[in-house]
Structure 1
């Protein structure tokens, strides 16, 4: 697997699983009805932020991550990131590779920490993955997320000191 900078030409490969994940409304706080242009504008970030794709040997996009400053001004030393893995590629280590990549990027860029603002507590695979890489739940917003199947569930704030 290769992780590289995402380009506009990657968007047609990202969009199908991006749309599926966002429309499911189980893990992201994005509007479930984002159209393709809105999704591209929200996901494909420009410098100094960054968006990458994980691809296999044939160039097939397996997943993607975006990384950015979490806060502005005097809080601009905290990074954040978001991840989407093609559900057909789940369980193949794509999410772990992307997460590790973004942590390394944040360190290289001189950030002091990473913070995830809204990790849905029922997204147990993501919570477990982040914890395995050293992230801690530092707080939970009770009933902060309206899950389509589980009702109101908490949103974790997760933190990793770099």
Structure 2
């Protein structure tokens, strides 16, 4: 089930969130941020945040927010996280599909991912399957802990005219 995220949900997911940011392989977040800083970043600053819950366990989450303001406020941005134990089970796909429906409900016409780490090939393949196009590359934009500086991709999908 996908539903709105609460502070209690975030606290339950915090160990997974912390593991993702400390791995430094997909998010340009401070690996030492506190749970409260992470909650603010993921749940308070965006328009909405959601969780994927199964058998009373929070297995994944996403946020949605405008990608820019003013004349570009019709494009949204989302971020997704799935717990390590739940990866490969289609949860990211369900979260992304849900986020596209929510984006349309909120009046967004497109979705853009500003910085997809190029080594995150599983996510990139999924986004391509879901209709996102790679529209740009930011050279050496991410300091990967094992590979050094790697590129990031800008990905985009038009949701409506």
**SS of equivalent residue, structure 1 residue 44:** helix
Root-mean-square deviation over aligned CA pairs: 1.1
Instruction: Give 1:98's match in structure 2, choosing from 92, 95, 98.
Output: 95
1:12 — aligned with what?
11
The TM-score with structure 2 as length reference comes to 0.95
Select the residue among 110, 114, 118 that pairs with 2:115.
Answer: 118
| 1:76 aligns to 2:73 (yes or no) | yes
* Cα contact 2:76–2:111 (8 A) shared by 1: yes
1:31: which partner in 2? 30
| Contact 2:2/2:52 (8 A) holds in 1 | yes
Question: What residue in structure 2 maps to residue 50 of structure 1?
Answer: 48
Partners of 2:147 and 2:97 lie apart in 1 by 29
Contact 1:14–1:61 under 8 Å retained in 2: yes
How far has the Cα of 1:106 moved from its partner?
0.9
The unaligned stretches of length 5 or more in structure 1 are none
Q: Which runs of 4+ in 1 moved over 6 A?
A: none
Query: Could you say what secondary structure the match of 1:54 adopts?
Result: strand
- Contact 1:45/1:66, CA 8 A, preserved across alignment: no
State whether residues 119 and 158 of structure 1, in contact with CA within 8 Å, keep that contact through their aligned partners in structure 2. Answer: yes
Any conservation in 2 of the 1:65–1:82 contact (CA below 8 Å)? yes
TM-score by length of 1: 0.95
User: 2:27, 2:59 → 1: CA distance?
Assistant: 18
1:14-43, CA deviations, whole angstroms, 9 ceiling, x for partnerless residues? 100000000111100111111111111111
The 8 Å contact of residues 144 and 153 in structure 1, kept in 2 or not, is answered as: yes
Superposed, 1:140-159 pairs within 5 Å as 140-159=137-156
